A = this chain, B = another copy of it.
Amino acid sequence: MNERIRQRLDAHLSSQGLRRTKQRDVIVEAAFSSDEHFKAEELLDKARKIDSTVSRATVYRTLTLLVECGLLRQVDLGRDQIHYDPNFLDKPQHNHLICLDCDRVVEFEDEHVALLHDCITRRLGFLQPKLMSMRIEAHCEELSRSGTCKQRDAQKHRQA
């Protein structure tokens, strides 16, 4: 498991008098095994592939824990479901662009966004912004130009 994740988790556990357990390790391993976003139920599936006895309740409880210590963040990617994003430790300022053609999610960082957030926030009579999120939905340029798009083809293939 990634060193920084371990460190932050341990710090949070001990500061709160909480315990390190086998289940929490399994769920954390599952959550950060890739950089993909996931829903609670998907995390349960991943976790059960590592240890099939992990319960749904513990997954939900651990999700809350991981959000509290900043390792995960809830993100609204549209599509009417809350997803969890495991990439904020590495990219604390990133945002999301969602492809309207194939639903793929592109993470991006942009130095101008932070400045803009800051200006807007102050202008409205607030102190430095604490939490910002930006979501863009757009159509794929490649698909529109060439009539095909790698992601979309791959997706169709999966569905077939």
Contact = CB atoms under 8 A, between A and B. Distances in A.
Contacts of A131: 78, 135-137
A120 B127 contact: no
Report the contact-size class of chain A (Cβ under 8 Å from the partner): 35 or more
Contacts of A112: 116
Contacts of A76: 76
Please name the 10 residue pairs, one residue from A and one from B, whose CB atoms are nearest each other, closest first.
A126-B138, A76-B76, A131-B137, A129-B138, A134-B134, A127-B139, A129-B136, A121-B138, A133-B135, A125-B141
Interface of A: 74, 76, 78, 80, 82, 97, 99-100, 106, 108, 110, 112-113, 116-117, 120-122, 124-142, 144
Given A97-B120, A108-B120, 4 more contacts: A110-B120, A121-B138, A130-B138, A131-B136
